[in-house]
Chains A and B, each alone.
Chain A
């Protein structure tokens, strides 16, 4: 730990910001796109020109991508640890009014360091491709202007999240992407099921956000700053004194880290708050690809990476992160095995892959986690877009039992999805192999029985991943067609604006791994070295270099079991399709549990939702609202009415009565004067 702190010191000392003027344009361009398309939708609805909407939506994100690339090269030209910065304006400024009070200053400050560079390139690059794809996918939808307005707004919020220089700005982006997620899941809000899926996502995320806010307050209380660099400086200077601070008996760093992680479980769909993500598939498929696979759901991973200097001081919290990660990875992979909706399989796969990222974060292999985030963005976005292409070609059918034999009908979709399939299964040298294997290796070599346990469970999850992805591919593309005849006549390959993004992402899925080709295989691990200045303790953790022979062995093992899983599944679905039912029968309760998602939604419903509903109805509504709230409101009204009924009799309409009142008043005044004076 001391060694790590010393190295952190060097990193903290060399942090120098270089002022730039163009950073604000990166998030601003999509915001302008949102404004134009949003106003177009407000005032013109579907009469707003479709080519204009498409051009603005894609061009603004492409512009952001170009600027991100420029910023990336500007950043690469600086020394290690330097970053680009732009202070746009002072947003919150609560200056201390009294001696001893601490102020709170949150400027709208954009920071572009090496981690942000990676995130920005993924968000604008993959995001841009998905925008292009959407122009084809939404070609028949009337509310296209609204769709692209939301999509651009999402890009703006996500870029704010990754570029924000302080945690409040990060939180603004965090909530912004949550809002856009809600709007886009419920995009087809005429369907109550889809609208309620959006609501579910919003509510579940709100639970996580509560933890996140508590974490932010904890940080503010502890360090008196919101700025990431100042925070890092504080932790660097006070690392030795951290033990002095605690909250309800928990060491403060652990408390803050766990609170922040609660936020991450909400946004990044980990146990116990993952339940919203599979339902989020109600949104249009490009939304699933962009928000619920490639970018937004990785915000939790990014946040832990950004605040690594806190997590590294909280070993217990790190173990929790890794434990939750690996549990989620295995748990959701078993659900993915039996789902019949093509998007549901991919949704549970996403939850599972996010689990892998949290394993990496939890064992301190931050670079491996971020790298898996990047490769996952490539191949999972590709899988979703491919699935969208299939759904588009099949006139909206999502049930894999009604697919099959699409290999020849949709060759481009098939071949690109195959690349993603091999990548996610972890076959060398595709992108998924490099990133997933790196995580498993880091977990294995992290030391202790815990690391080994995480490795074994993670490997099991990887095997299941290969199995359910092979099942998906064979059910969709290889097995004999089970498509309705009516639908089959319309099956067609998607237009160019949908297949081009597929091909681009396929290329990235195949070759993306070479960005971080491991040293053990003669590579340079460029990605890991690029990010090294971001982590306070890379040297401390990289110290445990394992034995090379073990690393080779584990690589071979994971590729071997993945291949075995693929071949077994292939054989089952290609030659013994009839046996699948028999196997399901044999698995008994386990099959039922997996098919019904372990009844988690039902359990949550019975344990949380229904009690709240019951309390709301029988106590809050029947007692508090009807009796107390309504009672007070009606009571005041009734009282006034009764008083008025009594009082109005004074008004007789005869002038002499009023004169009598005046005389009585005069007498009262006189009586007062004579008795009290």
Chain B
């Protein structure tokens, strides 16, 4: 309500959400189409950050800090995940000499 009527900042919740959705879709497209594990990993980070943006936007719109706090939590988890994920990728590479994701299909029927 505030944001939409504010004369100085003519940017509203809808813009943030649109950006967030666009980031998420780009991340998802990258995740589904790329074969390099590292690029897929970056796509995941993109999707996480799109969620962070949505959280922050809602927090700003509602004047409620919970959403921002939550965004910090996501960042922490993302950092952990990055560490663990990179370690896994490193190990995968050592074993298979490749980072192409469609070659990792041992769990097939």
Taking beta carbons and an 8 Å cutoff, which residues of A are in contact with B?
Answer: 648-649, 651-656, 659-660, 663
Closest chain A CB from B86 CB (angstroms): 16
Q: Of B102, B106, B108, which is within 8 A of A656 by CB?
A: B102
Contact A652 B32 (CB under 8 A): no
- Does B109 have its Cβ within 8 Å of any Cβ on chain A? yes
Contact B28 A653 (CB under 8 A): no
Q: Which of A649, A651, A659 has the most CB of B within 10 A?
A: A659
Contact B108 A651 (CB under 8 A): yes
Residues of A within 8 A of B28 (CB): 663
- Does B93 have its Cβ within 8 Å of any Cβ on chain A? no
Residues of B within 8 A of A656 (CB): 31-32, 40, 101-102
Sort A-B residue pairs by CB-CB distance and give the 10 closest, nearest first. A653-B108, A653-B105, A648-B109, A653-B107, A651-B109, A654-B105, A654-B102, A660-B32, A659-B31, A659-B32
- Complex Cα distance, B104 from A649, in Å, reads 17
Closest chain A CB from B34 CB (angstroms): 9
Residues of A within 8 A of B108 (CB): 651-654
Q: For chain B, which range describes its interface: under 10, 10 to 19, 20 to 34, or 35 or more residues? A: 10 to 19
Residues of B within 8 A of A648 (CB): 109
Q: Given the interface contacts A648-B109, A649-B109, does A654 sit within 8 Å of B31 by beta carbon?
A: no
Residues of A within 8 A of B109 (CB): 648-649, 651-653
Contact B32 A654 (CB under 8 A): no
Closest chain B CB from A658 CB (angstroms): 10
Contact B101 A654 (CB under 8 A): yes
- Complex Cα distance, B31 from A147, in Å, reads 82
- Complex Cα distance, B31 from A293, in Å, reads 92
Residues of A within 8 A of B105 (CB): 652-654
- Complex Cα distance, B102 from A497, in Å, reads 93
22 contacts between A and B (CB under 8 A): A648-B109, A649-B109, A651-B108, A651-B109, A652-B108, A652-B109, A653-B104, A653-B105, A653-B106, A653-B107, A653-B109, A654-B101, A654-B102, A654-B104, A654-B105, A656-B31, A656-B40, A656-B101, A659-B31, A659-B32, A660-B32, A663-B32
Q: Type the 1/0 row for B64-105, where 1 means its CB is closer than 8 Å to any CB of A.
A: 000000000000000000000000000000000000011011
- If A651-B108, A651-B109, A653-B105 are given as contacts, then 8 extra A-B residue pairs at C-beta distance below 8 Å, sorted by A number, are A649-B109, A653-B106, A654-B101, A654-B105, A656-B32, A656-B101, A659-B32, A660-B32
- Complex Cα distance, B28 from A660, in Å, reads 9
- Complex Cα distance, B102 from A666, in Å, reads 23
Closest chain A CB from B8 CB (angstroms): 34
Residues of A within 8 A of B101 (CB): 654-656
Contact A655 B32 (CB under 8 A): no
- Complex Cα distance, B106 from A652, in Å, reads 9
- Complex Cα distance, B105 from A651, in Å, reads 10
- Complex Cα distance, B102 from A656, in Å, reads 8
Residues of B within 8 A of A654 (CB): 101-102, 104-105, 108
Residues of B within 8 A of A655 (CB): 101, 104
Instruction: For chain B, residues 15 to 61, give those with C-beta under 8 angstroms from any C-beta of chain A.
Output: 28, 31-32, 40
- Complex Cα distance, B109 from A654, in Å, reads 11
Residues of A within 8 A of B107 (CB): 651, 653
- Complex Cα distance, B104 from A660, in Å, reads 16
Closest chain B CB from A471 CB (angstroms): 84
* Smallest Cβ-Cβ distance to A655: which chain B residue: B101
Closest chain A CB from B90 CB (angstroms): 17
